[in-house]
Chain A
């Protein structure tokens, strides 16, 4: 199943974080973005948060405990963007 928003988010992650070694096909929508999976860190989260709130005009409260869950994977991010925009 290919999801348009997921694909867009993958590309946003790659361009925002300048991940030259990774193509969007290399990112599994379900894999963890932080730690073991893609290996992103808290600074990446900060930049990604800025990019996503700008692109999709959504408000991200970094001190909200649920934010961490939204950033768990590309799929979770896509759900978050969809639900927040709706």
Chain B
């Protein structure tokens, strides 16, 4: 049986006086107390002229009181993801006043008369921001009615399995997922809100050893759980929710095994609200099931259109993720269709990262990407003349530190690239495009010891020539051979193959070496031309190293058929 929800307009009036609605700072907060706290704050807010308030609280209970008081007093609440100086400055464009845990919150009038609880306006407004997007966060307006409808659907979908469980979270209530799951849903369904945003899973399990509990979590925590958590004593754990991004399968299965139940993952976004859910490990299926009332249909250009009760008037909504619909109504989730990537559940705009990099005079060209299989971003840069000078005089580490610091001032820390590739020129195709494959190739570990090629000259669609300087301080020159350093033949073949991967789509498997010829030694300081020709039909890569002195080496690499 799911719980009965309070009616939206009467929410404040109907809160049961004696029920424990929240645990805050170790003490229970009953319905009567919440009503008093809201009335007192609403009275003060009503006496202040500002209409738009930036709301931030470290803890859930005061955030809930503040939100209800803003609505009760006819104000509009703006809920930013953090209270950092940059956020405060950006909020200043929309809000005349700040409420809660800010360095300098707006002074409220004192001695005002409490504003007694009345029906809440169904159109009362809350503005939220897209989760941690770098660049300009997008503001999204939600109506009280919309939020409440979403709560009703959550109760319908998941309420029966929860009983009277209290809610605790390791995600912030300052984002829509935490706000709905940690505060509004338990409040409207008569369950207890744990006010503190917990960091440590052990704290969550301690609560679950004392009573029934639903854990509002995210993949960031769930995929990094310590091995030694006391699961056995956490018998009260009724459900683990996860949202913000898909939970990797191995993390989902490990959790299901240890916790004795699979996490309920919820797929959605700030703009769309909840869309679907799944339980990997319980279902043997990683497909998503639409939430009640949600419909998905194929749209133009590979996009999927969403129709949902949470969308209000902006129907149908084209989703930013690639989606494969199944006949049984469930679906598989693919990659993003735009230049947004998720880094540990936070949206990051690659364009914004590139803009921030280009704003530094040391940078001439910039590409940001998420290297395959990694979370943190990588950046590929071509330095400007100023950047080259800086690198020569202060070194690569100092240059990158400077770029990191510049980015950290403008972007969320998580959006600052962790891996950097400084190249003489971006790897371009004959058509002048910079293919993602070539950028990705730069971050493969085998690429770490390749020399940096200069501009690529294409003589045909399948043939490219690049210039390479052979630095005298390459590791291969030391000890090979004493007194007469030369570039080993095996290194030449590695260079040819590795560099070819930036320009052509070579198979991953092994190859046979044919017609290998070494004409002339390659010495430190040599200026080489490397010509690469790729014949896809036969899987053959030809390479030749030349310099002013003539040919140095050449061979054919015949790749094996992929099995």
Question: Which residues does A use to contact B, with CB under 8 Å?
Answer: 17-23, 26, 35-36, 39-41, 43, 46-47, 50, 53, 61-63
Query: In the complex, which residues of chain B have a beta carbon less than 8 angstroms from the beta carbon of A26?
Result: 397
29 contacts between A and B (CB under 8 A): A18-B418, A21-B396, A21-B400, A21-B418, A21-B420, A22-B397, A23-B397, A35-B408, A36-B405, A36-B408, A39-B408, A39-B413, A41-B412, A41-B414, A43-B220, A43-B344, A46-B220, A47-B224, A50-B224, A50-B226, A53-B226, A61-B200, A61-B202, A61-B203, A62-B200, A62-B203, A63-B196, A63-B198, A63-B203
In the complex, are the beta carbons of B199 and A62 less than 8 A apart? yes
Known: A21-B420, A41-B412, A63-B199. 9 other contacts (CB 8 A): A17-B418, A18-B418, A26-B397, A39-B416, A46-B220, A62-B199, A62-B203, A63-B198, A63-B203
Counting from the closest, the 3 A-B pairs by CB-CB distance are A62-B200, A62-B199, A41-B413
- Residues of B close to A50: CB separation below 8 A: 224, 226
**Docked complex Cα distance between A47 and B220 (Å):** 10
Q: Are B221 and A46 in contact (CB under 8 A)?
A: yes
- Decide yes or no whether B404 CB sits under 8 A from chain A: yes
When distances are taken between beta carbons in the complex, the residues of chain B under 8 Å from A62 are 199-200, 203
Docked Cα-Cα span, A41 to B202, in Å, equals 21
Smallest beta-carbon distance A43→chain B, Å:
5
Chain B window 383-426, contacts with chain A (Cβ cutoff 8 Å), 1 for yes, 0 for no: 00000000000001100100011001000111010111000000
Residues of B within 8 A of A (CB): 196, 198-200, 202-203, 220-221, 224, 226, 344, 376, 396-397, 400, 404-405, 408, 412-414, 416, 418-420
Known A21-B397, A50-B226; contact A43-B414, beta-carbon cutoff 8 A: yes
Identify the closest chain B residue to A68 (Cβ). B199
| A26 to B412 CA separation, bound complex (whole angstroms) | 23
Measured in the bound complex, the distance between the Cα atoms of B223 and A47 in whole Å is 10
B397 partner residues in chain A, CB cutoff 8 A: 21-23, 26
**Which of B396, B414, B418 lies in contact with A19, CB distance below 8 A?**
B418
Chain A residue at smallest Cβ distance from B400: A21
Q: Which residue of A lies closest to B396 (CB)?
A: A21
Q: Give the CA-CA distance A21 to B196 in the complex, in Å.
A: 37
The interface residues of chain A lying within 8 Å CB-to-CB of B414 are 41, 43
Contacts of B413 in A (CB 8 A): 35, 39-41
Closest chain A residue to B228, Cβ basis: A53
Q: How far is the CA of A22 from the CA of B420 in the complex (A)?
A: 11
CA distance A63 to B200 in the complex (A): 6
A18 proximity list for chain B (CB < 8 A): 376, 418
| A39-B200 in contact given A20-B419, A22-B397, A46-B224 (Cβ < 8 Å) | no
Residue of A nearest to B376 (CB): A18
Task: Find chain A residues with CB under 8 A from B420 CB.
Answer: 21
Across the two chains, which residue of chain A brings its CB closest to B445?
A: A20
B404 CB → nearest A CB, Å: 6
Q: How far is the CA of A21 from the CA of B405 in the complex (A)?
A: 14
**For B226, what are the chain A residues with a Cβ–Cβ distance below 8 Å?**
50, 53
Task: Please measure, in the bound complex, the distance between the C-alpha atom of A62 and the C-alpha atom of B416, giving whole angstroms.
Answer: 24
Out of B198, B202, B220, B404, name the residue touching A39 (CB < 8 Å). Answer: B404
Which residues of the other chain, A, contact B405 by a CB distance below 8 angstroms? 36, 39
A47 to B414, CA, bound (A): 14
Distance from A36 Cβ to chain B, minimum over Cβ atoms (Å): 7
A42 to B226, CA, bound (A): 16
Q: Bound state CA distance, A63 and B404, in angstroms?
A: 29
Task: Output the nearest chain B residue to A34 by Cβ-Cβ distance.
Answer: B413
CA distance in complex: A41, B346 (Å): 13
- Give the distance in Å from the alpha carbon of A19 to the alpha carbon of B226 in the complex: 22
A63 to B272, alpha carbons, bound, how many Å?
32
Query: Whole-angstrom distance from the CB of B257 to the nearest CB of chain A?
Result: 19
